[in-house]
Structure 1
Amino acid sequence: MFGEQVQSTRAAQKVRTATRIVEAAAQLFAEHGFQSTTVRQIAAEAGVSVGTVMAVGDKESLLSLVFDQAIADRIPPPPAPPEAGAPAPSAVAYLSHYFDPFLGLFAENDDLARAYFRTLARGKDENAALGALRTLTEDNLTAAMVNAGADETHARLGAQVLFAGYLGELMLLAAGSTDPRQAAARIGRTAAFVAAQEGL
């Protein structure tokens, strides 16, 4: 019993320390940029050792954690299913604007966003959060279309198309070939097309 309490306390402390490190990294990345920030600075800001920072992750991993948390905080839940006898909600607006908050992150600090997208493109193991984001996003988009009356199998395919389109827009943004406004417009057109295929 006592051993379990100690383990639980240690696990909670570890989570608090990791959170402090990610928050320190976010602050320093925003103030000084990704390239100019060092792991030593992050450790000093968080009040921990360099080794403790590295146990959470290297600089690229910390940047991924910063963005993953920012994205998770902005994920819009799908519209609720209609009440009995009520008309189905329109899914088009939800689909069209689902990714707007994520694209907004790019507009807030495009240098950091480009560094994040380059990290994603390298496909490091630490990017498991991208898989979690994909699953959650596809589930949300599918639910929105099903709640609006679409067949679930077709809705799932439409959600996969939308997520793939979003990733493509991120790569174009990282390459400097487009801007968030243009990316949002193209995602909106793709969403309208997907919705039309489902008669939404």
Structure 2
Amino acid sequence: MVRALHYKEHHTATRIRDAAIKLFAEHGYAAVSMRQLAAEVGVQAGALYIYIPDKQTLLYDLMRDHLEELLAEWRAMPKGDDPLQRLEAFVRFHIDHMLARPDAVFVAYMELRNLAPQNYVAITALRGAYEHELERILRDGMQQNLMRVPDAKLTTKALLAMMTGVTGWCREGGRLSRERVERIYWKLARRAVGA
């Protein structure tokens, strides 16, 4: 029988996850010890194992949750029927989502190498599902002669790399507002697909 977590336990589990994302993004997964994570949360190292079985499971859970949230939010969003409308919606959504959680994005995209083989397969499948959403838009645009790209899969990866890179330089209160960044990226993406 699984027991329900009390508020205090849930709060501690959330603090562990938040601290792990921060530390993994700042120092890298391999460099962060369970003792360091416990100190960040303010608990004894042994207490972490009440909430997580091990560091690998924690990394996997953080990456899985980030990608599942990304997919669910995208799929729930109104997009329009036209491939160009859907592409603009995707570009704006992706940038907005990435900028709202830069540490989680860094961990989800840069720590793949530290996943155990079975976890790697599961996470790359989720990433592939998200990439397929953009690829479908490009293929629909090509089919309707609204877009011209030499290879939909490669263009998908190039666009995602360009858009995800925004987390490396764009900051709140910077020279460009988030809306302006989204507008510029939409123009760049539109040109990249020949529309």
State the TM-score bracket (shorter-chain normalisation): 0.5 to 0.7
- Residues 136 and 183 (structure 1), Cα distance of their counterparts in 2 relative to 1, 3 Å cut: farther
Give matches, 1:85-96, under 5 Å. 90-96=85-91
- Residues 94 and 179 (structure 1), Cα distance of their counterparts in 2 relative to 1, 3 Å cut: same
Q: Deviations over 1:31-52 (max 9, x none)?
A: 79753146533333x4xxxxxx
* Partner Cα separation in structure 1 for residue 10 and residue 106 of structure 2: 14
* Partner Cα separation in structure 1 for residue 105 and residue 130 of structure 2: 22
Structure 2 unmatched ranges of 5 or more: 3-8, 24-36
Report how far residue 186 of structure 1 moved: 5.1
Q: Deviations over 1:36-78 (max 9, x none)?
A: 146533333x4xxxxxx43xx31x6514422431331232138
Instruction: Describe the SS at the equivalent of 2:85.
Output: coil
- Is 1:117–2:107 an aligned residue pair? yes
Q: Could you state the TM-score of these two structures normalised by the residue count of structure 2?
A: 0.55
- Is 1:41–2:47 an aligned residue pair? yes
Which residue, out of 10, 14, 18, partners 1:26?
Answer: 14
> Structure 1 stretches (4+) deviating beyond 4 angstroms?
21-24, 31-34, 78-82, 180-188
Q: Could you state the TM-score of these two structures normalised by the residue count of structure 1?
A: 0.54
Identity score, percent? 12
* Map of 1:97 onto structure 2: 92
* Partner Cα separation in structure 2 for residue 119 and residue 152 of structure 1: 25
* Map of 1:198 onto structure 2: 193
Report how far residue 190 of structure 1 moved: 4.1
* Partner Cα separation in structure 1 for residue 86 and residue 92 of structure 2: 10
Question: Match for 2:97: what amino acid?
Answer: P
- Is 1:131–2:121 an aligned residue pair? no
Structure 1 unmatched ranges of 5 or more: 1-8, 14-20, 47-52, 107-112
Give matches, 1:179-190, under 5 Å. 179=171, 189-190=184-185
